[in-house]
Structure 1
C-alpha cells in the first residue's frame, strides 16, 4: 500500500504486439499503394463508369470506340480505361515487379474483353449461332448430326461443350456469352507457359502474354472450334519445347494433337509443319513426331473426305490470291479505319519479330537454336497461303497463328526497353533483376527515353488493336428481339421453308431444329447478297422487289424474309447496299400486296410470301 501511494511502482508497459501489428499493416498498405497497382485500380473504376454507356451506345460506323450514350462519351472512357491498364503494366515492368505486372495484365484483359460479355445483350457475331445449333442438337439427341454440314466431320469441340453444358446445367447461350473473356484469360496463361518453356524469365514471359493479347484483334474468340483448338495448339507448342529436355512431353502432345485434329480442319496442318521443321533440326523429341502427327491428321482427313471435298482441299497454289479476304462490298470510312488499324497492328508485330530475330542473329553471329525455334513458330503459318484461301480467311489465320511465335521474339526487346536492363533468356545474359547484378552500373542506370518510347508504342498499338477488334461492333451486335424472332421461326416453322436475309448476318441455326430445314436444303437460310446482281441494289424503285415476288411466287414451300437493324448497320459498314437501301427494301415489302408482315418493330421485320397457288 505504501509503495502504491509513493508511486514507486512503474506504470504497466503496453503490449508491443498491437503496435507491431499496426506497423505491419502500415507496411502492407504502403506496398499496395504503388503506382502500378493504383493505376490498375483506376483503370477498373473507369471501365465500370464506361460500361453502362457501352451497353446503351448509339450505333456509329466507326465502331464502339467512337460511340456515345446519353450524357457520356462511353467509347472514349472505355479507351481511357484500357490505356490506363497499359500504363500500369508498363510501369510494373519498369519496376521489375512480376506481381504488379500480373495484376495489371489481368485488369488489361478484363477491360479489353469484358464488353463482349457485359455490353452485348446476346452472344456477339451471327456465325456464333451456327455453332450453338450443333451443340444444342448433341445435347438433345445425344448423337452427331450426319450429312448436314461440315461440322459433323469435326465434332470434338461441339461434343465437349455439349458435355460441359449437360453436366453443369449451364445453357449454351450463357457459355457463349462469357466464352471470349474465358478464352483470353486461358490464352494469356498458355502464352506465359510457352514463353517460360522457351527459356524467358517470368517477367519477360508476362510481357510475352501482354504482346499476344494486344496483337489478338482477330475475333476468333467466340464459341467456336477455332478458338479452343488455338488454345490447345499453344499448349501443344509448350509441350514440344519442353520435349527438348524430356521426350515424354513430346509423347504427351500426341493425344492433344488428336483432340485438335477431330475439332478443326486447318490448325493440325499448321502444327504438322512446325513439328516437322523443328524435328529436322533436332529441336523436338522424338524427331519423327511430325510424321506421327501427319499420320493422325491424314488418316482422319481420309475418313472424312466426303464432308470436306465439296469445299475443296486446295484453292490453288497462288499465295497472293489466297491472301485476299472474302470481303464483298465497297466499304465505309469506318471500315477503312478499322482495316488500317488492323494492318498497323499486324505490320508492327511482324516487323518487331523480324527485327528481334535479326538482332539476335547479329549478336550471336550465327543462327542459334532459340532464334530458329521462334522464327519457325512466328512465320511458318505463311506456308498455308501456298495452297488454301480458307474461304477468304486464310490471311487472318496466318496472323493468328503467328502471334505466339512473334511474342517470343518481341517480348525480350519490349522488356529490355521498359526496364532498360539486359533481356533475360536465350537472347541475352541473366536477368538484370538478379541481386548478383546489383552492382553493375549498366543495371543501376535506367535511362527513361527507351521506357517512354516503349510505353508510347504499347499505348498506340493497344489503341489500334481496340479499333480493329471493336470497329465492326454494331454490325456484329445481336439484339434480343431479333434472336427471339429467329428462334420462334425455327421452333414453329415447318420444313421445308426458305428464310432469306437482306445481309449475311444475324442469328441463324441456333437450335437443333435447324437440322430439319438444312436436311432438305443446305442453303435454306441464304443471304440475298449471294444472288447475282443483287449486291449493291439501291431499291429506289420497286423493280427489284417486284421481281423477287414474281420469281418466288411459284415456290412449293413457305418463303420468309428476315430484316433487322443489325443487317442495316452491317450493310452500311461494309457498303453492301447504298445508304438507306435496306430501309427502302423493308418499306417496299411492307407495301407489296404479295407479302404479309408477321413482325414489324423498329429493329426487326419478318415477312412471308402469300400462297398464290
Structure 2
C-alpha cells in the first residue's frame, strides 16, 4: 500500500509504477479463488472475492488524499448545492434533472455528519462489496448453483475495467439494475416481486439518464420471449420513464436523443488521439478483453441453442446493451456502458463452464485456469492503467472551491485539460447559470490541440480565444494535467511549463494562486 501512494507517474499504469507485490497480491487472490472452486470450498471462494476487492479497489481510499476523478467533483457540487439551498437547480445541468444519488447523499450527510467528500472517498470499495452481494443474489435468482453464482460474482468484480465505480449516478444505477435483474430472474414463470421491481425501477429512473432505457429494452425482450411475468409491467415501466422524460424535456432538448449512427455511437471520446506507448498498450488490452468476453459468451450461447437448452433470457441479459449503440454515443462513452451493462449477463453465461473446467481433469483444469488468469491480468492492467492521470490532490480541491466562492463573477474557470475538481461546490450553480460552458477544457477548443506553447503563434491562438469571451477567465494548470495531456497525446509534456512561463510574463494576467502542483491565473477582462 505504501508503494502505491509513493509511486511516480508510469505510462503503463499502477501495476508497473507500484511495487511488484501489488500485482502479485491480485494474482494471489485469483489463485486462491481458483483453488477454492476446485476444492468446493465456498467460504474460501468468498474470502478470495473479498481479497480481490481489497487489492483492486481499496487503494482508491487508502492511497489517495482526495477522491479520484475530476468527474466526482461535479457530483459533489450538486450535493453541496442541495445541502446549502435545500433545492435543486433544475435546468442548470443534467445532474439536477436526475437527482437520486445527490439528494440521498445530502440527506445521509446531514443526518450522520459525515462529509460528502468522505462518502465519495470511500465509495469505491464499499460499492464493490455491495455489488458482489447483489450479483450473487441475482445469479441465484436466475437459478445458478451456489458455486456458479460465486464464479459469476468473481467475474463481475474482477473484469470490470470500466471504472464506473466512483461516486456517480451510474454506479448507483448499476446497483439498482442488478437488484432489478434478480427480480426479473424470479419472475420468468410467475409474477414475483412486481411492486419492489417497480420501486427499484422508479429509483433508477430518477438516478441515471441512460441505464433505465436499457433495463426497459431488456425487459421488453424478455416479455417477447415469454420470460417475464406479468407482461404488462413493461407498460408501467415505460410510463415511469415517459413521465420523467417530460419532466426533463427542457434539459434534454439540447441533446440528440436518438441518432441511429451505430459507427459514431461506438466511437469513444478519445478517438483520433495517439498517446504514449503505455496508453496504446492499455487500450489494446481493454479491447481484447472486451471482445474476448463477448466472443466467448456468444459461443456458449450458440452451443446452448444448438443443444436445445435455454438461451433467450441469458442472451438478452448479455447482449441487449448493444442496442444502446443504435440510440446514442452518450458523450463518447456508450461503448463503455455496453460492456458494463453486459458484464453480469455474460458472467451468468460463462460461470457454469468455468466451474466445470476448474473441476475437470488436469488438462482442462489447466486451460481454464490459465484463461481465467490471463483475463484477470488483463482486467487488472485495464483497471489501473489510468491511475496517474486521474489523481486529484488536496491543494487542487482547496483552490477549486476558493475560485468558485470568489468575487470574480461571472467568469470562465478554464482548465487546460479535464483533470480538475470541476464544480466541486454548490457555488458552481451561479457560474453555470451564466453559461454551461464556463468550465470547458481549453485544449479541446479549435486550433489548440497538440500545441506546445513554445512559439508566439501558439500563445496568440490561445489569447484569441480568451479575448473573444469578453469575460474574466481563470486559467488553471496542474501537474496531473501534464501527465494527462502527454499520456493521451493531447499535447507535449513541456506545454504546461511553456504556457506557465508565458502567462507569468504577460502583464494582462495575474497569479491568483500557486500551490504544490497547481497554478491559477486570472485574465480580468474589462467588459
Say whether the fold is shared (TM-score over 0.5): yes
**Contact map agreement 1:270 1:381 (CA 8 A) in 2:** yes
C-alpha distance after superposition, 1:343-378 (max 9, x if no partner): 12212211221122123233xx32x44x21111100
Corresponding residue SS for 1:121: coil
Corresponding residue SS for 1:524: coil
1:202 aligns with 2:146: yes
**2:166 aligns with one of 222, 225, 241:** 222
Matching residue of 1:295: 239
Corresponding residue SS for 1:519: helix
Distance in 1 separating the partners of 2:515 and 2:88 = 37
**Contact map agreement 1:148 1:518 (CA 8 A) in 2:** yes
1:386 aligns with 2:323: no
**1:409 aligns with one of 349, 353, 356:** 349
Distance in 2 separating the partners of 1:511 and 1:582 = 26
Q: Which moved more, 1:448-457 or 1:243-252?
A: 243-252
**2:270 aligns with one of 327, 348, 368:** 327
Distance in 1 separating the partners of 2:347 and 2:134 = 12
**Contact map agreement 2:72 2:166 (CA 8 A) in 1:** yes
Distance in 1 separating the partners of 2:446 and 2:68 = 29
Q: CA RMSD in A?
A: 1.6
Corresponding residue SS for 2:376: helix
1:193 aligns with 2:193: no
Distance in 1 separating the partners of 2:319 and 2:438 = 40
Classify 1:286/1:55 alpha carbon distance in 2 versus 1 (closer, same or farther; 3 Å). Answer: same
**Contact map agreement 1:276 1:289 (CA 8 A) in 2:** no
Residue 579 (structure 1) shift: 3.4
Q: Which moved more, 1:503-512 or 1:375-384?
A: 503-512
1:159 aligns with 2:81: no
Distance in 2 separating the partners of 1:551 and 1:374 = 52
Classify 1:243/1:550 alpha carbon distance in 2 versus 1 (closer, same or farther; 3 Å). Answer: closer
Matching residue of 1:540: 454
Distance in 1 separating the partners of 2:514 and 2:248 = 44
Q: Which moved more, 1:204-213 or 1:600-609?
A: 600-609
Distance in 2 separating the partners of 1:553 and 1:333 = 37
C-alpha distance after superposition, 1:397-454 (max 9, x if no partner): 111110011011000011111112xxxxxxxxxxxxxxxxxxxxxxxxxx12222222
Distance in 2 separating the partners of 1:576 and 1:244 = 50
**Contact map agreement 1:276 1:288 (CA 8 A) in 2:** no
Matching residue of 1:498: 412
- The TM-score, its normalising length taken from structure 1, stands at 0.83
1:584-599 to 2 correspondences below 5 Å: 584-599=498-513
Distance in 2 separating the partners of 1:194 and 1:101 = 18
Matching residue of 1:426: none
**Contact map agreement 2:176 2:204 (CA 8 A) in 1:** yes
**Contact map agreement 1:490 1:513 (CA 8 A) in 2:** yes
Corresponding residue SS for 1:536: coil
Between Structure 1 and Structure 2, whose CA radius of gyration is higher?
1
Matching residue of 1:443: none
**2:479 aligns with one of 558, 562, 565:** 565
**Contact map agreement 2:448 2:461 (CA 8 A) in 1:** no
- The TM-score, its normalising length taken from structure 2, stands at 0.96
Distance in 2 separating the partners of 1:233 and 1:177 = 23
Residue 525 (structure 1) shift: 1.4
Distance in 1 separating the partners of 2:440 and 2:167 = 22
1:52-67 to 2 correspondences below 5 Å: 52-67=2-17
Residue 226 (structure 1) shift: 0.6
**Contact map agreement 1:240 1:250 (CA 8 A) in 2:** no
Q: Mark the runs of 5 or more structure 2 residues left unpaired by the alignment.
A: none
Residue 599 (structure 1) shift: 2.6
**Contact map agreement 2:225 2:313 (CA 8 A) in 1:** no
Distance in 2 separating the partners of 1:450 and 1:547 = 62
1:364-513 to 2 correspondences below 5 Å: 365-366=307-308, 368-369=309-310, 371-420=311-360, 447-513=361-427
**Contact map agreement 2:318 2:345 (CA 8 A) in 1:** yes
Matching residue of 2:260: 317
Distance in 1 separating the partners of 2:278 and 2:509 = 35
1:168 aligns with 2:112: yes
Corresponding residue SS for 2:155: helix
Classify 1:555/1:257 alpha carbon distance in 2 versus 1 (closer, same or farther; 3 Å). Answer: closer
Residue 502 (structure 1) shift: 1.1
Classify 1:558/1:98 alpha carbon distance in 2 versus 1 (closer, same or farther; 3 Å). Answer: same
Distance in 1 separating the partners of 2:260 and 2:461 = 40
Corresponding residue SS for 1:148: coil
Residue 544 (structure 1) shift: 2.6
**Contact map agreement 1:61 1:572 (CA 8 A) in 2:** no
Corresponding residue SS for 2:377: helix
Which contiguous aligned blocks of 4+ residues in structure 1 show a shift greater than 4 angstroms? 553-556, 610-613
Residue 288 (structure 1) shift: 2.0
Distance in 2 separating the partners of 1:169 and 1:277 = 44
Distance in 1 separating the partners of 2:216 and 2:341 = 13
Residue 245 (structure 1) shift: 4.8
Q: Which moved more, 1:272-281 or 1:400-409?
A: 272-281
Distance in 1 separating the partners of 2:213 and 2:296 = 26
